[in-house]
Structure 1
């Protein structure tokens, strides 16, 4: 557990972080700026379309990206086959979305959604032109190139979105930001990645990749539906303002956990695939990545839960204050995201997408039951239901992981326990210290400083080995 990660892996994680946060981080900041210029109801309109656009994008990917990464003997024919399939399926899916737009508007009783849906749907076609380029860069761990393309496109599109919101275009500022980001990213990746598809489409290659990717597709569809089902159901039973509150709180809660997890996961998955034949080395690498991620995620999520009220008031103004209680609950629910994702990925590393699909089906059955039982009790109960789902998710996925790996759930919990305790003690310290401070801005600043200092102290007392890993990253990169 104490041997260092390779220099190549460390650089992969670093540039994966740069690329991820250049997209999500800057977009997150820009979304805060735009949120101050538009109404919660206008944000709610975009959120209502989230499930339809996310499902459509999942079909466009169809699990081929992971299939290409997992396949060791991949060829140019494989890449070209996936490229042409993705473009074809994106056009088909957009056509279906275009025709379904009036029905979507009627479902939510918001006529404007018909036009918004048809414009936002164009990003599906634009994104399909970049899937292979992204996959090739991930396989090569060339996150630096991904970072360049993402950073430029997100800054330019974000500037357009902010300017449009400032001019008073409301929801259309969000549409312009999304579409311009997809367009710029496509142009930049084609300029930066020296790859041109061959004029070939192989049915043999397609069948081999689809046999693995199709199971991931079904699992991804279930997960995508689940992630967006809350907005769909809330949008059907509540108004767009309440959808806006839930969407903003969920966005804040998901941001640190999801992005840090995906940063590490993109570097971890190829590394674990390379160790398929050596289970001991694979498990050791898995635990290192898991600890390194939770070392950052746990304190961030607990700190965010404690400081949710001053954070919302400072960043989004009082008009968004109703989302603060929801944010606190969701932070506790989403702090377990890396544990869920990394354990699920262990099944795919061994090529057992059949088990990952079975696990996903069981998890989503539990998720749907929890949602429909909690929706009648109000928004806060719905958020508590998300925490209950996180616990059930971990139990279900580990049941399947145990079928093909030798370690048990107790080992994993013992490994993460010191990190969890440090984060909880830090949260208690922040709560007590900030309660004596008046004013949202001062409370937020003081709480952050106390959180950082106390986590460092508790980390040293508990002798967390991740402090050594942080030193490695700083020195080597």
Structure 2
């Protein structure tokens, strides 16, 4: 059993790590997207709304238990064994305390939403929090070492097994408990697999000096983590009491589908950004070039993918069924906000990499404020609440992106034109993908819902790829070079 200092392992190549990070999220998207549509068709928006309200509550507890320790571990130049051991026991201890608090106050959250059944769901889900606390430091160490292959295996296996359990539960008419079973199974399997593939094991020790060192950074980072969490979950935390579980379910389905796209195409690079940029924190010109290069790669994938989802939204609503009426427009509105967010996703990790987590916290809390105003405004629109909610939150995302980019331009000293150049090919691909997939879906409107969705998506993908190549001459040159190389290799063989 390896008990060596976690930072002593040789780091793998950043490009290989990014590839495995994308593979991790691609596999998860392939597994969960189909399962989500199947479960949604069986269970309906109200059940998804109740589950979203429960996960918002337990998600806050899970986020608080980390206390910013994960980025503190990933971004450190040197990490000792005592520091890793101390972080592990801090997370486990805090997780146990917060779980107890969550179980006690669950009825309060249920009462705020006028959903008595919500208390039981929250209490059962809270039992999974100590399990997740066991993998926080393990995951941070693997991220630090860029060992995304192990993380990918964990994600694929846990998502598949959890999804199967959820579908079986839905077929057995378990209602919301099918989703609870899916969530808990995924957490348990993820913990088992991660401990199986990881080599580090904690020792039973807590070093006070190490705790103070980690706590100093983590407290500054925790403010940003809380702000980011509230910015991403405030929709449910506020919308539940204001609009009820059905509106929450419709909105969260739109958000979940678009978030899946962002996770595979953009957040994969975000996961690599902190360790990848931390290595260049003392060389700002090289740091800036890598940041812009990674941003370009992120938007090249994310923006076209979101454009395709926008064009397929009517087909998706048809697949889900009549209970989900209105979700197509919600998908389009939410995707616009996600398009904006994808352009600034790497600014936060970049600020953490240069030791400025306080700025990330400030920007995240500004996002929380604009989101709160958007949700409060949507509550005044009665029958159009879903549209107002989605539109308001998308506007909030655009404002937040503008703020993050402005701060990034100041701290890392680059002009707006360079960011625009990084975004441009992805934006062109997104527009082409949306128009093409929407046009094909309209032409074959009478086809079977799944066939219509597949054909529309394939058309959007083809046109988006062509548009990206037309907008990015360097990609065309790289593609030609790759083709020539393969032809030469074929001739020699």
Q: Same fold (TM over 0.5)?
A: yes
Deviation at 1:471, TM superposition (A): 9.4
Residue 162 (structure 1) aligned to one of 145, 157, 167: 167
Is 1:38–2:46 an aligned residue pair? Answer: no
Structure 2 distance, partners of 1:28, 1:456, is 22
**Residues 199 and 442 from structure 1, CA distance in 2 versus in 1: closer, same or farther, beyond 3 angstroms?**
closer
Q: Which residue of 1 aligns with 2:103?
A: 98
1:248-397 aligned at under 5 Å gives the runs: 248-314=253-319, 316-377=320-381, 378-397=385-404
**Residues 72 and 318 from structure 1, CA distance in 2 versus in 1: closer, same or farther, beyond 3 angstroms?**
same
Is 1:438–2:445 an aligned residue pair? Answer: yes
C-alpha contact (below 8 Å) 2:17/2:148 kept by paired residues:
yes
Query: Runs of 5+ in structure 1 lacking a partner?
Result: 1-5
Q: Which residue of 1 aligns with 2:431?
A: 424
Structure 1 distance, partners of 2:482, 2:84, is 33
**Residues 305 and 242 from structure 1, CA distance in 2 versus in 1: closer, same or farther, beyond 3 angstroms?**
same
Q: Secondary structure at the match of 2:472?
A: coil
C-alpha contact (below 8 Å) 2:435/2:460 kept by paired residues:
no
Structure 2 distance, partners of 1:442, 1:150, is 28
Query: Runs of 5+ in structure 2 lacking a partner?
Result: 1-10, 487-493
Instruction: Describe the superposition over 1:376-395 as per-residue Cα deviations: whole angstroms up to 9, x where unpaired.
Output: 12221221112211221122
Q: Which residue of 2 aligns with 1:115?
A: 120
**Residues 118 and 132 from structure 1, CA distance in 2 versus in 1: closer, same or farther, beyond 3 angstroms?**
same
Residue 463 (structure 1) aligned to one of 466, 472, 477: 472
Deviation at 1:75, TM superposition (A): 0.5
Structure 1 distance, partners of 2:291, 2:35, is 34
Instruction: Describe the superposition over 1:162-189 as per-residue Cα deviations: whole angstroms up to 9, x where unpaired.
Output: 1111111111111111111111221222
**Residues 317 and 374 from structure 1, CA distance in 2 versus in 1: closer, same or farther, beyond 3 angstroms?**
closer
Structure 1 distance, partners of 2:83, 2:148, is 22
The CA RMSD over aligned residues, in Å, is 2.4
C-alpha contact (below 8 Å) 1:258/1:338 kept by paired residues:
no
Q: Which residue of 2 aligns with 1:240?
A: 245
Structure 1 distance, partners of 2:167, 2:439, is 37
Structure 1 distance, partners of 2:296, 2:303, is 10
1:116-135 aligned at under 5 Å gives the runs: 116-135=121-140
**Residues 52 and 73 from structure 1, CA distance in 2 versus in 1: closer, same or farther, beyond 3 angstroms?**
same
Deviation at 1:225, TM superposition (A): 1.6
Deviation at 1:411, TM superposition (A): 2.0
Is 1:398–2:405 an aligned residue pair? Answer: yes
Q: Secondary structure at the match of 2:204?
A: coil
> What is the TM-score of this pair, normalised by structure 2?
0.89
Q: Which residue of 2 aligns with 1:76?
A: 81
Structure 1 distance, partners of 2:87, 2:207, is 9
Structure 1 distance, partners of 2:150, 2:39, is 28
Q: Which residue of 1 aligns with 2:3?
A: none
Instruction: Describe the superposition over 1:214-271 as per-residue Cα deviations: whole angstroms up to 9, x where unpaired.
Output: 1221111122122222123222122322221111111112110134222111222211
Structure 1 distance, partners of 2:240, 2:482, is 44
Structure 1 distance, partners of 2:43, 2:397, is 32
